[in-house]
Structure formats: C-alpha cells, structure tokens
Amino acid sequence: MQVGANACIDTRVTHSWFPFTHYCFIFSSQAHSAQAHELITGFLTMPASFVYVSTSPHVDLCVRSHQGVFDFPTILFIHGLGDSSLVWKSFFSDERLSDFTLLAPDLPGYGRTRMSKGTGGGIKEHVKHLLALIEETVGGPLLVVGHSLGGLIATYLVRALEQMETKPSAEKTHSPVKLSGLINVEGNLTGADAFISSRSVRSDERGYFDDWYQAFVRTSYEGMWAEANPHLKHYPDSLRMADPEAFLRDCHDMVDLKNHTDDDSGENEAGGEYLKIIAPKLYVYGTESIPQITMDFLDRNKLATHVFESAGHWAMLDDPETFTGLLLERLR
C-alpha cells in the first residue's frame, strides 16, 4: 500500500449503526515523516482511525476514533494544552476498552484540526465544538475524560450537558446524553493550577511570547519531557503541530479564570463549576505535580480523588494499567 503526501484514503463505512457519516485519513504535505508513519501504521495495525467531524461551518474536528459494540458507552478523551490526541493513543490499543467507542479529538488549533481564524476561540468555543461532536456521534452513555486544559474543558462540557437536561424539551438544542461520569486528570480547579499558562501570558504581556514559545518547544525537543517521563515522548510532536495562537488564547482563558477568585482559598470559577457537577466525578492527580492549594481544595470539599504516588502531571501515562481500571469502574 502506497500513500502519497497529499492522499486522502476514503474509508466510508457501510454499517448502518456506525455513528459517523464519513471519515478519511489526511496526509499533509507538511507532515513530519514520523507523524505520517504513525498515521499509516495506525491505519494498518490499530483498532482506531481518524475521522473528520464538522462541528461548525469553519471547523472540522480531527478525531482519533475506535468504534465499539453497539449500545456500549462512549469514552470522550480531551487532551491538554499544546497536546493532541496522541496523548491517548495507548488507550486505543488496550483490549479491555475494545468494546467501547473511543473518541479523542484534536481541539481547534491542535494536532490535525486547524484553528478557525477570527472566531474568538478559547475554552467556551472548545465546549461548543465538543457539544456538536457529541450530538453527531454519541447515542448512548458517555464518560468524559480530560487532562489538564482538557480537564478544565471537560468540567464546563459536563456542566453544559447537565444544564441542557434541566431545560424544557422545546428549548433543548441537543439530544439528551446519559452521563456515566467525569474523570478529571489535573484539570484547573484553583489559581495555582495555571502554571505554564501564567508564564505564557506573562511573556505575551511583556512582548516576547514568540521567543518564549520557541524556547518552550525547543526545550521539549531537547529532552526535558522525555527525561522527566519516557511516556511523554509524544508531547514534542503534539507541540510542534499546535498553533501558537491557539496555545496563547487558551493560556489567557486559564489565567482569566485564575483571577476570578473571591477569597484566599484559591478557588476560581472552574473550581466552583466542578463542585456543581451532579454526575459521578473523580479527580486524578500525581503527587509530584499538584499544588498544595489544589489539594486543600479537594480535601476541604471532600471530593473523590485517585492519587498516583510519585507520578507527574500526566499521571494516566505513568500508570496506564491502573488508569484503564478507573475508566472501567465508571463504566460498569
């Protein structure tokens, strides 16, 4: 099988129960050879594919997907800042999840999803696109899983889904979704969680964001991430695909949330929204990266947590076996 640099392989399905209307693999002429190899080998050997789902007139989300058994729950994975669906790749080859439909979109401006220029963007826009994705693809129970920025977005997404359920039928804009729960992996809950984003915004305010961002990307390639955790070798590739404008836009959103603190508890707007979630929710963190203020917030509010000892910010990659077990517990 030979694939040209600009080839699109149409893999339109014929199963009447498959939720997507069409999907294809896109190989950009600008793609790095390693990324093209990952796409090709993924198509040939992995139980996953890449689908493009139109979520607005200007955005087609590229979604890493695996079709599970009809009527089984769907797991929606949301990546973090500068990352892409690559972060969730290993879970798509986990046999224990093979019966479930798995969706891991590249958010606009990240991975293979181009950012729509001049549309505002930010966390609320990400939520809108994910709501549209759910409307197009999810017909049964849904478990939402988000990491870092993705955990923050997941909080607002679940809140939006729950608020839709309380509306009169005539006012509902999406079909009802049964929420199996939310797993939030170190998503922002307090101002202390805005770490990299604060540095990014500070560099922008002082007029040297481009230099800061280039240094950030360069540092990731020089081994900082891989040395800290060999499972993070995907991150430089994800970061290289990210649009710096999208990265900065989301950083500003996270810092703005950080500044919405009413007292000295550190709780921000995102933490308040997380507390309002009715669906079963679990906050996952590694002991090597979570701020003390956030730990205090979790303890003070008696929130359900799972702690990965000696793990860093990507706790689900430090111990994927245990993390998959957490997913399965929520899907029973």
Residue 42 has pLDDT above 50, yes or no: no
Q: Summarize pLDDT for 78-122 with one digit per residue, the tens.
A: 999 999 999 999 999 999 999 999 999 999 999 999 987 666 678
Query: What are the DSSP calls for 242-275, one per residue?
Result: S-HHHHHHHHHHHHHHHT---STT-B-HHHHHHH
At CA 254, angle to CA 77 and CA 124, rounded to 5?
60
**Are 234 and 87 spatial neighbours (Cβ–Cβ below 8 Å)?**
yes
Residue 25 has pLDDT above 70, yes or no: no
Q: In angstroms, rounded to a whole number, what is the distance separating the alpha carbons of residues 33 and 239?
A: 16
The whole-model pTM stands at: 0.84
Task: For 303-317, give one letter per residue: b (16+ CB within 10 A) or e.
Answer: beebebeebbbbbbb
**What is the model's pLDDT at position 319?**
95
Of the pLDDT bands very low, low, confident and very high (cuts 50, 70, 90), residue 54 is very high
- Kind plus residue range of the DSSP H or E element containing 185: strand 179-185
Burial class (CB in 10 A: 0-12, 13-18, 19+), 173: exposed
Domains and CATH numbers, the chain: 65-331 (3.40.50.1820)
Q: Summarize pLDDT for 180-208 with one digit per residue, the tens.
A: 999 999 999 998 888 899 999 999 999 99
Q: In the chain, pLDDT over 70 holds for what percent of residues? A: 76
